[in-house]
Amino acid sequence: MTGSNALIADKLKFNENGLIPAIAQQHDSGEVLMMAWMNRDAVLETLETGRVCYFSRSRGKLWRKGESSGQVQKLVDFRYDCDMDTILVEVDQIGVACHTGRRNCFYFAARDGKEVVISEPEVSAEELYGKK
């Protein structure tokens, strides 16, 4: 299978830093969980393992989602867009996607010119990262 996943990776357009944005959506509820970046290795690892892997720009290395928190994303479907420069991964998110303990990262809303927090953490950072 490696060969053909490599052909998929060859089609994708990575930016000047070798990265492509990847949106994660909970496959059944439609909730948009987060957006992060993948490099070619992350794309291949995601396709080959069925567990979503990103590239951490701050740490400069592969970021196997859930590696330290246990909040893994199981791949349900790997999609990409008309321009082949954005990925949409349909996932089954175990636990929460956001490092703040919220189910998804998009918890700020701009309403009437004000910032509103529209969801609260379901677990604490301590629970997520306290015990490795």
Binding mask 33-72 for its own copies (x = CB under 8 A): -xx-----------x-------------------------
Beta strand ranges found along 1-132 (DSSP E): 20-26, 32-38, 53-56, 61-64, 73-80, 87-93, 108-111, 114-117
CA 112/CA 109 separation, integer angstroms: 10
Q: Does position 14 bind its own copies by CB under 8 A?
A: no
Return the residue of 67, 81, 92, 120 that touches its own copies, per CB under 8 A.
Answer: 81
CA 86/CA 31 separation, integer angstroms: 18
The one segment of 64-72, 100-108, 124-132 that binds its own copies by CB under 8 A: 100-108
User: Contacts with its own copies: how many residues (CB under 8 A)?
Assistant: 43
**In the complex, minimum distance from the CB of residue 68 to its own copies, in angstroms, rounded to a whole number:** 17
Return the residue of 23, 62, 94, 123 that touches its own copies, per CB under 8 A.
Answer: 23
The dihedral built from the CA positions of residue 51, 56, 59 and 61, taken in this order, carries a sign that is: positive
